[in-house]
Amino acid sequence: MLAASISITRLSRSTRPTCGTPWMSKVPTLNGSTGVMLVWAETGTAQTSATSRPSIRVRRITLLWVIPSLERVRLYPRGPGLSSRWNVNPYTGTMPRASIVTVCGAVVALALGVETRPAIGQAGTTARNVVLFVGDGVDDHQLTIARNYLLGADGMFVFETFEHQAAAKVLTVLEEDPHMPEYVGDSASGGTAIAAGVVTSRGRIATRAGTGESVPTLLELAAGAGKRTGIVTTSSITDATPATFVAHIGRRFCEGPRDMLPTPTDPRCPQDLKANGGPGSIAEQLAVSGVGLLLGGGYEHFDQPDEAGVSVLRRAREAGYLIVRDAAGLREAAGDPSQILGLFGDDTLAVEWVGEDGGRARPIQLTVGGQVIDPAPFRCVDNPRFGSRPTLEAMTLWALTRLESTPTGFFLMVESASIDKQAHAGNPCGQIGETRALDQAVRVAVAFQERHPETLIVVVSDHGHSAQIVPWPSLFAASRADAQYPPGKVARLRTLEGGLMAVSYGTNTHYLEEHTGTQVPVFAQGPGAAPVRGLIRQSDLFGIVRRALALE
C-alpha cells in the first residue's frame, strides 16, 4: 500500500481526456520512488450487463487506484458489489514496463517500472494494537479458488503481499487420550490453539482436553493489561471461533441456555451449568464479559432465559451493553460510550454472494449410457437475502474507528466465518464472496496500520476444508466404464477473466462436507511479525501475539 500522504489533484474539465487520449500521472510512493496512477474514463452510455463493455464517449475521469511496481494491467468485468463498471485488479496487474496502455472508456495507466514495496508497520518487536483475522476453513485450496475467480490465476490478495508468511501445523488431540493426536481439527480446537496456545480436543472452547481446565486467552490477557478489546464475525458471536477468545466451556454447541439442557441421548454441558458451579452457556458468558464490542449474529442464543429465568439479553443490558440489530443501528451507536453488542441475525449472517440460478456443487450425473453430463457453468451474483446487516468490511472499519483513540491500545479479532460454512454446504460462490469479504476487511486494517504503524496484523486459519480445484473433463469421465461411484460433488464456475474452473467437494456425497487435516497459511506484518516464518505450530501464534503486545 502507499503512504497516506500522497496527494492527488482533482482533474478540471479542461484536462479531462477524450477517447483515445491516455491520461496518467506519476505519484510518489513511501520510499520516494514512482508508482502508477490508474483512472476510470466514464462514458455517457450505460452498461447493459455485467460483462459488456461501455461505449466510447468519455464523460468523466475517476481515480481508481495507485499501484507500485506494476508489470501489466488487466481489466476484469464488474463483480457483484463492486462500484465501477469495469475494475482494475487492485492487488496485482500486468503490462509491459515503461509503456502506455489506453482502453477507451475503461482504464489508462502508465507503468514506470520502478520496484517498490508495500508500506508495512514499523520495524520492531512491540505492538500497541493487534488485529487478528481468522479465515475460518482457509487453506491453500480455498484461497486459490477465490483468487482464481476474483483476481485471475496470477492474482494476489492483499494479505498475500505481507512480508512475513508461514505454514501452520494444525494439531488436535483426542479427548479420551490427550497424548494421542487426532489428525483433523475443528474451529473449537483450532480457535483454542490460536487464542490460548493450547492443543486441545475437537469441540472444546478454551479448555484443556481430558480435564476441562480453563486456559487464559489473548483477549483476556489484553484486557487484563488495560487494552480495549473487540470481536467481529460473520457467524454467531457464540460460534466456536469467537467463543474461544472469550468463553470457557466443554462443548462448542452449548451456545445458549437451552443448549445446556440434557436430552435422553446427550448430556450436553452439565458441568458448565451455573447450578453446578460452572460459568453457564457461551451467550451467558459473553453477556457479562466486558468485551468492548461484540459484532456478528446470534440473537436467538441471547433471546433465551437463563437458569434463573432471566433473559440473557437483559443480563447483557444490565452489564452495560447497548444492543443493536442492523447497519443503521450500528451507525447510530458510533458516538455511544456503552459497550456494544451487535446482533445482526438470529445465527450465522447471510453471505454476500450466491451462485446464479441457485448454482452450487452437485453430484455428478450420468446419462443412461453411463456418460458424464457436464455440470452447467455459472457465475457468482449478489445474494438477495443479504438484507440490512453490515458487511464484514463495514464492521471492521466501525470497530477500528471506535478503538483508534485508545491510549493503551487494543486487541481485535475479526473472523470471516462462512468460508468454512459455505464449503460445508458445497457452495463455492458463498465461500468466494466470504473470502473477498476477508480481503476487504484486511485492507481496512492495512489502511489503519499506515496511520498507526505500531499495529500488528495477523491473518490465520483454524483448519483446512474440502473444496479443491480439479481438471475438467476429469479422469472419472474418461474411465466411466470402470467408475461406479461418482466422487463427491462438482461445480463449474465461469471466472471473471473468462475461464472455466471446476471445484470438487470430494469428502462425501452427504449434504455436509467435512474438514481436512492439512496445514494452513499464516500472514503477518507489523511489529512483532518476524517469528511468522517457515513451518510453525498453530498454537505458536498465541506466543507470537502475546510477546508482540508485551503480555508476558
Q: Which amino acid is at 465?
A: H
Q: Does the annotation count 5 as an active-site position? A: no
**Cα 57 to the center of its chain, rounded Å:** 39
At 383, is the secondary structure helix, strand, or coil?
coil
Rg for the chain (alpha carbons), in Å? Answer: 24
How far is 159 from 151, CA to CA, in rounded Å?
14
Angle, in degrees to the nearest 10, between helices 428-451 and 392-403: 20
Measured CA to CA, the distance from residue 445 to residue 456 in angstroms comes to: 9
Annotated catalytic residue within 187, 189, 418, 466? 187
Within 10 angstroms of residue 275's Cβ, the number of other Cβ atoms is 10
**Of 114, 110, 91, 138, the residue nearest 39 (C-alpha):** 110
Q: Which of 542, 461, 546, 457 is nearest to 167 (CA)?
A: 461
DSSP secondary structure, 315-377, as one string = HHHHTTEEEE-SHHHHHHGGG--SEEEEE-SSSSPPPSEEEGGG---EEPEE-TTSPEEPPPP
Using DSSP's 3-state secondary structure scheme, residue 77 falls into strand
Sort residue 97 into left (φ over 0), alpha (ψ -120 to 50) or beta: beta
Residues designated catalytic: 187
